[in-house]
Chain A
Amino acid sequence: MKYLLLLVGLSVGLSLQAQEAKSKKITESTFEVKGVCGMCKDRIESAAMRTTGVKLAEWNKETKQLKVVYKTKKTTEEEIQKAIAMKGHASESMPKDSAAYEKLPNCCKYADGAECTH
């Protein structure tokens, strides 16, 4: 029974934390990131998520648009784009890191005409 209470307490605690989070400065923005399909999606989203302050990253492989939600105190759009570029994916205002791009699997080399096969 005490564990049950602990769980209830924990979930209350978590929701309080969420309330608190809402009061912080959080912004959403969308920009284009070059890529091909599934594997690129993982890499782009992971690079964005691993940037401190980023809470959500969703890349659409059809429109090539990346939606990010982040804390403005911790990071900027430019920093996120930079982190993605370091993994080989260029965005409009941020050129790709060529060394990282070279290491991408062939199916992800968007600048060399790779096509989505699935």
Chain B
Amino acid sequence: MNPYRILFLLLQLGALSLYAQNSIKGVVVSESKKGKLEPVPFANVYWQDTNIGTSTDSSGTFQLALSDDSKRLIASYVGYLSDTVRVNDPSKTITLQLKTSVELEAVEIEYRRKSTEMSFINPMKMEDISERELFKAACCNLSESFETNPSVDVNFTDAVTGVKQIHMLGLDGPYTMISRENMPGVRGLGNAYGLTFIPGTWISSIQVTKGVGSVVNGYESIAGQINTELKKPDEGEEVFLNLFANQAGRTELNFVSTQRLSAKWGTTLLIHGNYRPWERDRNQDGFRDFPLQEQINVMNRWKYFGNRIRGQFGFQYVRDEKEGGQTTEKIEDAEQNQAQFVPWKLKVNTQKAEAFAKIGLVYPELKYRSMGLQLSANYHEHNSLFGATDYNAVQRSTYANYIYQSIIGNSFHKFKTGLSFIYDDFDESVDNSSFNRTEKVPGAFFEYTYTPNNNITLVAGIRADEHNLFGTIITPRLHFRYAYDEQTVMRVLGGSGQRTANIFAEHQAMFATSRAISILESRNLPYGLQAERAWNMGFNITRDFKLDYRDGYVSLDLYRTQFEQQVVYDLYQSADQALFYNLDGASFSNSLQLEVNYELIKFLNMRLAYRWLEVRTDYLSGQKQKPFVPKHRFFANLGYETERSLKGSNWTFDLTAQWIGTQQIPGTETNPVAFQRAKQSPAFSMFNTQVTRNINKKWAVYAGMENIFDFRQDNPIIDPNNPFGNNFDASLVWGPIFGRMVYGGVRFRIKAEE
């Protein structure tokens, strides 16, 4: 039935109203698979909380007596989600629209939602980490938000900066595209410390997708995509306050305030400050285990929600200062005994300013059609000193992405297409050498989604980008989902990705060593090196099960990433060198992950995962397993929640255990015997726990302990007494440096009245 016929029906009904008093007329419709509205015959229509009701006739129309008790009219039909309409003017005809049951399922699962969920419908295997999951590990920023997630590893990068890096599929953080609300989030210089500029309590949810992502978001994702959604004006609390402190003196304050100025305008202010004033050196090597730190981070964002136009814009400013290196005690001591003592100091100062905007245009009458424009501009300044090495860099970036979305014929065939432009300007200097480059990349993309029924989704995308330095980049990507039955879903994906390596920003740990840094290429390209290009393919099968009325799922992931071109960072050559060169030969990562989620006893959720990784690269010295990548990892998480009282008080308990297998360590056999290290790290376990007491709907207190059994890497720094000597190396870090850490905090929130 076409829209004109519905219009005709409505007109007919309008004519009827001339004769009938004290009653209301309308039509019940639903959207067909072709995206058209069709009448629903024999649907139930009734006034809420009354016994007054009727059903629609064969043409989907109805007439119903008015009710004194209720103004809310409900239409319902088996297999559909019902629609409720408030009737203010009974003389007007009413259209009630039923939604199909696919959406109904999504609503029904709302109760007892898991804090991390795997989407059944999404063509990409996406793990959605909610705020509740993030609360399980209260500390502190995005890099630490994955402590309770088996898909993302969090590793220390070195023994001086205290910064943690994430890994996916065994590949370094930069191979994962980190986006903020599907716009560039952590890129370029941000790859080093950018994750620490996204405070955990600003995040409302995180989506983790392994393998190549959608072409709509660019060509950069290789190992996966991590998208963070921050708190927005239309959701989130009116006021949120979080105060955190740990035994080492790290103090954090987070404040989020949302104001809905009108039905259409809202604004959110997010403030984060963190302060680490105390010096700690538990392993007595004369170096601070982590630097003193000060960070101030502010964001203000606005949202406009009109009928046709939806827009968001905002600003962020971050200033972060770190001071590490040798301890004051060590320096004072040495200055007394040595006349010409030069202390080894670490200073990292970062300033970042960003402005972003999103403008969307929707067609209320044509729901399937919309267009959007994403814009952002970013200034990032990084100044650092590692002992005697200066590393300074500035990045200026702009990004624009225009997306048009519609259907071809009917809603079985959807597409997104658009144009993008990336501008990146880098000025970097390492001591006296400078490295400048400007990347300009206009691009176009087309992504087609085929959904013939609920069981099959095919997403085929392609994009073409014209890179001013690396030439044309063609990026095909394919995602296929097949639901075998209502519990089992399979996904296959494949595609390519490309990125420019920022060799200094991504490997700053090498500045905390005595290694001589050399680039073994000299082409007229950034750093003389090629772009990195890889193919990724993956397979996933997830099966939901119900055992004894409780839900669970089993999931198996297989991924392979194969590099066509790669910038190899080689520490294997010798203990005195850090080499960069273009890959000659093979470089790949194979990964397998098996995961079981189940509610073991009522309200006790269990998550077990095993992961196997093989990441090998052809180095100058032959094919080797990538250093600091554990081949085996085992993960277990238990979470328990007690009953919520009427006041909103309850307890939550959380325990995470990890077993991390042996890792390769680059050879140190050219060093004197005292400064040699084993070639493999021992396997070790880590246990974290946290208890949260929700006092009422507003207040919560939490306390936790990381690394309960105090496991530490012994002597993480080689030759710490002689940091300007030939053997010094603070980059060979495979385990925790600080050991057990106790923390606690308070949360206060006022939720908007629903």
Contact = CB atoms under 8 A, between A and B. Distances in A.
B644 A62 contact: no
A46 to B, nearest CB: 7
A115 interface: yes
A105 B754 contact: yes
B74 interface: yes
Contacts of A17: 547-548
Contact of A116 (B48, B547, B632, B659): B48
Given A7-B610, A88-B646, A116-B72, A105 B753 contact: yes
B753 A3 contact: no
Contact of B549 (A7, A69, A116): A69
B76 A56 contact: no
A115 B547 contact: no
Interface in A83-118: 87-88, 100, 103, 105, 107, 113, 115-118
A42 B634 contact: no
A97 to B, nearest CB: 10
Interface string A48-65: 011000011010001000
B594 A4 contact: yes
Interface string A1-29: 00110010011001101100100000000
Contact of A7 (B84, B548, B596, B602): B596
Interface in B62-87: 70, 72, 74, 76, 82, 84
A3 B596 contact: no
Nearest to A83: B643
A103 B598 contact: no
Given A3-B634, A38-B110, A18 B548 contact: yes
B643 A39 contact: no
Interface string B721-741: 000000000000000000000
A55 B549 contact: yes
Interface string A32-47: 0000001101100110
A95 B711 CA distance: 56
B76 A62 contact: yes
Interface in B36-76: 48-49, 70, 72, 74, 76
A71 B724 CA distance: 72
A116 B112 CA distance: 21
Nearest to A50: B643
Nearest to A38: B110
Could you say which interface size class chain A belongs to? 20 to 34
A100 B610 contact: no
Contacts of A69: 549
B554 interface: yes
B608 interface: yes
Contacts of B550: 55
B4 interface: no
Contacts of A87: 646
B549 A107 contact: no
Interface string B533-555: 00000000000000111100010
A45 B74 contact: no
Interface residues of B, number: 32
B266 to A, nearest CB: 18
Contacts of A116: 48, 72, 84
Contacts of A117: 754
Contacts of B84: 116
Contacts of A41: 110-111
Contact of B548 (A50, A55, A113): A55
A87 B645 CA distance: 8
A91 to B, nearest CB: 16
A81 B550 CA distance: 21
B547 to A, nearest CB: 4
Nearest to B44: A62
Contact of B554 (A11, A42, A107, A118): A11
B754 A62 contact: no
A58 B74 CA distance: 21
Contacts of B549: 55-56, 69
A100 B644 contact: no
Contacts of B554: 11
A36 to B, nearest CB: 9
Contact of B594 (A7, A42, A46, A62): A7
A116 B279 CA distance: 56
Nearest to A87: B646
Interface in B639-653: 643-644, 646-647
A10 B608 contact: yes
Contact of B610 (A4, A56, A58, A107): A4
Contacts of A45: 111-112
Contacts of B70: 115
Nearest to B48: A115
Nearest to A54: B602
A10 B598 CA distance: 11
Q: Which of B548, B594, B644 has the most chain A CB atoms closer than 10 A to its own CB?
A: B548
A11 B753 contact: no
Interface string B102-117: 0000000011100000
Interface string B686-715: 000000000000000000000000000000
Contacts of B753: 105, 107
Given A15-B547, A116-B48, A49 B82 contact: no
Contacts of A103: 646-647
B29 to A, nearest CB: 19
B72 A115 contact: yes
Nearest to B646: A103
Contacts of A100: 646
A115 B754 CA distance: 12
B644 A46 contact: yes
A39 B548 CA distance: 26
Nearest to B634: A3
B212 to A, nearest CB: 27
Given A3-B610, A15-B547, A116-B84, A39 B596 contact: no
Interface of A: 3-4, 7, 10-11, 14-15, 17-18, 21, 38-39, 41-42, 45-46, 49-50, 55-56, 58, 62, 69, 87-88, 100, 103, 105, 107, 113, 115-118
23 contacts: A3-B634, A7-B594, A11-B596, A14-B547, A14-B598, A17-B548, A21-B548, A38-B110, A41-B110, A42-B110, A46-B111, A46-B644, A49-B603, A55-B548, A55-B602, A58-B111, A62-B76, A69-B549, A87-B646, A88-B646, A115-B70, A116-B72, A116-B84
Given A3-B659, A41-B111, A46-B111, 17 more contacts: A4-B594, A17-B548, A21-B548, A42-B111, A45-B112, A46-B643, A46-B644, A49-B603, A56-B549, A62-B76, A69-B549, A87-B646, A88-B646, A105-B753, A105-B754, A116-B48, A116-B72
Closest 3 pairs (CB-CB, A-B): A55-B549, A18-B547, A56-B549
